[in-house]
Structure 1
Amino acid sequence: MTHEIPAPITGTHLIEWGYRPGPAFAALLARANTARANGMDMAHIRALLAADRPSPPPPHLPLQREGDVPLHISIRAENPDETDNLNDVLATMREVLRTPTAQAGAIMPDACPSGPLGTIAVGGIVATRNAIHPGMHSADICCSVMMTDLGAADPKMVLDAASTMTHFGRGGRRDGNRFAVEPDLLDAFRANPFLRREKTLHIARSHMGTQGDGNHFLFVGRSRSTGHTVMVTHHGSRGPGGQLYKAGMEVAERYRQQLSPATLPRNAWIPADGPDGRAYWEALQLVRRWTRANHTVLHHAISTAVQADVVERFWNEHNFVFRRNGLFYHGKGATPAWGDHAGDACGKMIIPLNMAEPVLIVRGKDAAHGLGFAPHGAGRNFTRTEHRRRMGAIPPAALLAAETRGLDIRFYGGEVDTSELPSAYKRADTVLRQIDEYGLAEIEDYIDPFGCIMAGNTPCPDRNSRDRAA
């Protein structure tokens, strides 16, 4: 008895069934024709192939229309420079808020641009749903301030001790001049996919007890309310944070290409509910813990050196992501102003202004129009380059003397950085007035300046070494 050989299934059939020609066609045809030779009819073969066919990718998320996401404004321009600055801030934040995940935005009295159009502004906050945006906390993850009340300690002794113990500039400390990192913290780094690289572990050790460069500082002053000497440090997570930012941006870019190619690369995100998002959130918390330790080791070493009685110590961050009421709040140069934003929060915050003005100790008001945030400092009205241009040919030392009369200002690298002088920043009285005007925080104390240490313009390797490892 002769059996009729069924006609083969061809690529034409697959195209009619909705498949696109490509490398997978050969395997599909082989499977279909094996089933055909075994007597399966065309309808069942089509169903067989469809059962294993991957679901089509979801459609790309489009940008939101400008104005669809609310932007809360807690800043007012009072002169032409501030008007130009505010217009730039509004333009960039409106572009940021077109990102598909954005739910709301806000800007603080210290707001200023921080990059190309569409980059979150310093003094900017963006709330997102199910999304962590590495570019919105920036490379300086967990940039933060810590204060220690040193009681009756002599402020000059404190500043002298700090000058020998802190470390500004690129790189870290060599063996023999390092502060220890808690072993369990390093173990936690090793267990996290974003932090386990050997380079990250190396700089987590060598950068402990370092402050970096730019606007980071060590400030000593006196409390108006108690007369006590107070030390304040300002810096972030240094190399470990920089490495996490780089790794986070790489992962976020992969998601951007899959989910929303129209989104600016600087606003790419990691879905928070997936394994990458959970691992990145955990990595942020570990880097936060490292950063707090980075402040604490310096405060402990200096207070011990001057034999001070520590009355109080607290800190707060301003380049970070906070989770609240189902949303992720990205603060770039903005300070969370609600009391339980973290387990170690005490309700009080530190807001520095410039080296010649008091550091403010405030209590946040959790203002809804500020998305619960307060300013982190004074901010700038123009770039460092523009400030240097405006200073003209006046020698940096003369500028420093004129702007900080009576204060003990030290530059670790030996050369004055004029872009960190008080004139480079927004007017302190403007920021103070607008904090009150917009109801963002209540001032509890002023720490009047005695002096401070900053990085300065020249390279600042470890003073006991020339190690400048990244």
Structure 2
Amino acid sequence: MTVTGKDLMALGFEQGADLGRAIDAVNALGLSGPALAEWVVRNKPSPRAGLQEAPAYRFNLDAEDEAEAENVAKVRETMDVLMRTPTLRQGAVMPDACPAGPVGTIPVGGVVAAKNAIHPGMHSADICCSVMITEFAEASPKDILDAVHKATHFGPGGRPNGQRYTMSPDLYDAFRANAFLSDKKILQAAQEHLGTQGDGNHFAFVGVSAANGTTCLVTHHGSRGPGAGLYKLGMRVAEGWRKKLSVGVLKENAWIPADSADGLAYWEALQLVRKWTKSNHNALHQAATVFAGAKVRERFWNEHNFVFRQGDLFWHAKGATPIDTTLLPDTNGTQIVPMNMAEPVLLIRGAPNDANLGFAPHGAGRNMSRTAHKRTKAGRSAESIFAEETEGLDARFYSGKIDISELPSAYKPAASVRDQMRRFGLADVVDEIRPYGSIMAGDWERDAPWRKKAQARHAARTIAG
């Protein structure tokens, strides 16, 4: 007798890729009757996990005006859906929270703990976005800002040949040995993107320590092309597992079982990307130190948009700074929280409690999208907005084009985020780096061919209408 898929499904096997392999296996073994039923019990896949009743999460975010009230409502909505993902056990929202995708996507400022699961979508494409600070023994802010301007690179892509920083051969070999990072595009990006900062809200900031009077350099950026490539591959693998292990789970919340071969390789890849990103920051800081002829007093860093492990719990922090020192292999206990180019960068310390779950804000966050913010400035020139919001600062855009969506008014009020961090008992400010100046990418896409074509089409429609 030939066993069919209908026979196996009657015994409890679900339809899917495993069913075809099972049909071949039982027919090769010649099983039937009780022996067939016993084989199915031993070999059928576990039932797929459905959405759970959402566990409670901590909400460390208040609304102080109408725009913030709308933001708070959207953050609650997406967290309520997110927490129904069956792997999640705990969660928290930070004062800098704002939505970051379709409803159910982890928000910026969101922290969740997953049991034995790594969710690529919950650390985002900008893996290990992070902040590094160097405090100089004796250096002027202008000299350091000029030096880092010379050392850094903003905008798309990597550095051209002859202008690249050298990647560690040991780290390159480790990339090649990893199942995810051995991808040719990732290996190429790992070499070309070292010493680059990208665009968006990434920056090089120079200021003066309120506690010590010393000049400090702060950089903010992530893992660039290598991280983006890893994210893309991770989401593809997670989607395969989502279809196999779950039903009703959003694609954005797909996961890789941490104890699977895929999970072990992905966890290792995350740690290697972390090393690459730290070396990227360090290359820029060291080059700026050399260009300025300065002497380093202290240097440290911390990351967000990353995954941190405690036993079988994997903490996913999307735009949240870990303050639990057990999560970090290389911390001095002080963490870095930037706000905007006109506000001090905060140095904080804290300990895990029921409110913070071991995390603090990673910055100021936004109450509205970049596009919505630009609409609030309609009728004013970028130059006048820039002059008003950066008065007294040495603020520079690497592309030479002002990006008003990165000026201070685009972000939540720093005083509000700082006050909520205090009121919710998330962390304590131990120093602040008061701003001298900063460098950001700027609106490098302003004159892009695709944008000019879009503007021409819009103008033509306006005339025709």
SS across alignment from 1:368: coil
Of 291, 297, 300, 1:314 maps to: 300
- Segments of structure 1 that go 5 or more residues without pairing to the other structure are 1-8, 33-43, 461-470
Shift of 1:29: 6.6
Give the partner amino acid of 1:347.
Answer: G
CA distance in 2, matches of 1:427, 1:16: 61
Of 64, 72, 80, 2:58 maps to: 72
In the alignment, what sits opposite 2:204? 218
In the alignment, what sits opposite 1:35? none
Give the partner amino acid of 1:397.
Answer: E
Indicate yes or no: 2:149 matched with 1:151.
no
TM-score, normalising length: structure 2:
0.90
Q: Is the Cα–Cα contact under 8 Å of residues 126 and 305 in structure 2 kept in the other structure?
A: yes
SS across alignment from 2:132: strand
Indicate yes or no: 2:174 matched with 1:196.
no
CA distance in 2, matches of 1:17, 1:353: 57
Of 222, 236, 239, 1:253 maps to: 239
Counterpart mapping for 1:333-344 below 5 A: 333-344=319-330
Counterpart mapping for 1:44-443 below 5 A: 46=33, 55-65=43-53, 68-443=54-429
Q: Is the Cα–Cα contact under 8 Å of residues 169 and 459 in structure 1 kept in the other structure?
A: no
Shift of 1:459: 4.8
Give the partner amino acid of 2:213.
Answer: G
**Count of residue pairs brought into register by the alignment:** 439
Q: Is the Cα–Cα contact under 8 Å of residues 51 and 247 in structure 2 kept in the other structure?
A: no
Shift of 1:25: 6.8
Q: Is the Cα–Cα contact under 8 Å of residues 339 and 364 in structure 1 kept in the other structure?
A: no
TM-score, normalising length: structure 1:
0.89
Evaluate the alpha carbon distance shift between residue 377 and residue 57 of structure 1 in structure 2; reply closer, same or farther with a 3 A threshold: same
Q: Is the Cα–Cα contact under 8 Å of residues 356 and 425 in structure 2 kept in the other structure?
A: no
Q: Can you list the C-alpha shifts for 1:78-128, whole angstroms capped at 9, x where unaligned?
A: 111111000000100111000000101100010011111001000000111
Give the partner amino acid of 1:134.
Answer: P
Give the partner amino acid of 1:195.
Answer: L
CA distance in 1, matches of 2:336, 2:188: 31
Q: Is the Cα–Cα contact under 8 Å of residues 364 and 411 in structure 2 kept in the other structure?
A: yes
Q: Is the Cα–Cα contact under 8 Å of residues 150 and 288 in structure 2 kept in the other structure?
A: no
CA distance in 2, matches of 1:359, 1:16: 62
Q: Can you list the C-alpha shifts for 1:161-213, whole angstroms capped at 9, x where unaligned?
A: 22122000110012210000100101111111010011111100000000000
SS across alignment from 1:58: coil
CA distance in 2, matches of 1:409, 1:165: 17
SS across alignment from 1:350: strand
Q: Is the Cα–Cα contact under 8 Å of residues 96 and 118 in structure 1 kept in the other structure?
A: yes
Shift of 1:52: 5.8
CA distance in 2, matches of 1:193, 1:148: 34
CA distance in 2, matches of 1:281, 1:25: 34
Moved more, 129-138 or 316-325: 316-325
Evaluate the alpha carbon distance shift between residue 59 and residue 176 of structure 1 in structure 2; reply closer, same or farther with a 3 A threshold: same
SS across alignment from 1:370: coil
Give the partner amino acid of 1:257.
Answer: K
Give the partner amino acid of 1:247.
Answer: L
Q: Can you list the C-alpha shifts for 1:242-266, whole angstroms capped at 9, x where unaligned?
A: 0110010001000100111310000
Evaluate the alpha carbon distance shift between residue 156 and residue 17 of structure 1 in structure 2; reply closer, same or farther with a 3 A threshold: closer
CA distance in 1, matches of 2:70, 2:243: 34
Q: Is the Cα–Cα contact under 8 Å of residues 205 and 217 in structure 2 kept in the other structure?
A: yes
Evaluate the alpha carbon distance shift between residue 56 and residue 436 of structure 1 in structure 2; reply closer, same or farther with a 3 A threshold: same
SS across alignment from 1:340: helix
Q: Is the Cα–Cα contact under 8 Å of residues 413 and 459 in structure 1 kept in the other structure?
A: no
Shift of 1:50: 5.5
Shift of 1:46: 3.8
CA distance in 2, matches of 1:321, 1:135: 11
Evaluate the alpha carbon distance shift between residue 46 and residue 144 of structure 1 in structure 2; reply closer, same or farther with a 3 A threshold: same
Shift of 1:151: 2.2
Bigger Rg over Cα: 1
Q: Is the Cα–Cα contact under 8 Å of residues 355 and 425 in structure 2 kept in the other structure?
A: no
Evaluate the alpha carbon distance shift between residue 16 and residue 168 of structure 1 in structure 2; reply closer, same or farther with a 3 A threshold: closer
Shift of 1:325: 4.4
Q: Is the Cα–Cα contact under 8 Å of residues 17 and 46 in structure 1 kept in the other structure?
A: no
CA distance in 2, matches of 1:30, 1:142: 49
CA distance in 1, matches of 2:333, 2:25: 63
Give the partner amino acid of 1:153.
Answer: A
Give the partner amino acid of 2:66.
Answer: P
Identical-residue share of aligned pairs (%)? 53
Give the partner amino acid of 1:276.
Answer: D
SS across alignment from 2:63: coil
CA distance in 2, matches of 1:416, 1:10: 72
In the alignment, what sits opposite 1:37? none
Q: Is the Cα–Cα contact under 8 Å of residues 110 and 379 in structure 1 kept in the other structure?
A: yes
CA distance in 2, matches of 1:261, 1:349: 39
Evaluate the alpha carbon distance shift between residue 331 and residue 17 of structure 1 in structure 2; reply closer, same or farther with a 3 A threshold: closer
Q: Is the Cα–Cα contact under 8 Å of residues 131 and 270 in structure 1 kept in the other structure?
A: yes
